[in-house]
Amino acid sequence: MDAYYNYLKSLHLIFVITWFAGLFYIVRLFVYHAEAKAKPEPEQSILIKQYQLMSYRLWYIITWPSAVLASTFAFLMLFGTHLGNSWLQMPWMHVKLGFVFVLYLYHWKCHQIFKQLQRGEVKHTSGFFRLWNEGATIILFAVVFLVILKDALNWIYGVVGIILFSVLIMLGYKFYKNIRERKQ
């Protein structure tokens, strides 16, 4: 299987990219869905029906298959090759796998929200979904820095940077929200 390692790695990366694309876009559709709930009829019904269809296709045709395939190729790299076994001994890989676990939790929560919206239940505001959308961004940054830097000191700085980046995103959102509310 070592001869196929670079093929596995390439396929893993392709499906990680499509998985994240699906996660980014599904939450954007959640924002639109929540905003459509405030529209008058018949616009509300038309928009919600369209967003449900778009979400359904994105979730089951792109996002879920990409998550499964990215995970399958990662598993094959880690447990089916000699190089993967040596990576499991490295501390940075343990931290990366921790972030991957958080990504699975994020995906699971998105699935719950997706199911609620498919049933017509809107339990969160568009503002909540805008902030929620940053979760995948933070996880992506953390994983990329860990994979590229690998060095213990550098990935610690990277993780601290991600936390500071997260705080800046939250502050930026609150600032934007205040400006938006003043204009109304």
Residue 82 annotated as part of some ligand binding site: no
Q: What is the DSSP letter of 81?
A: S
Residue 125, C-beta contacts closer than 8 angstroms, at least 6 positions apart: 34
Q: Tell me which amino acid residue 176 is.
A: Y
CA nearest neighbour of 109 among 82, 74, 136: 136
Residue with tokens 């670079």, as numbered in its chain: 6
Q: Which helix (H) or strand (E) holds 10?
A: helix 5-36
Residue 115 annotated as part of some ligand binding site: no
Question: In angstroms, what is the C-alpha Rg of the chain?
Answer: 19
**What is the end-to-end Cα distance of the chain in Å, rounded?**
61
Residue 1, C-beta contacts closer than 8 angstroms, at least 6 positions apart: 8, 76, 80, 81
What is the C-alpha to C-alpha distance for residues 112 and 156, in angstroms, rounded to an integer?
A: 32
Residue 77 CA to chain centroid, in angstroms? 22
- Residues forming the annotated binding site for heme? 12, 96
- Residues forming the annotated binding site? 12, 96
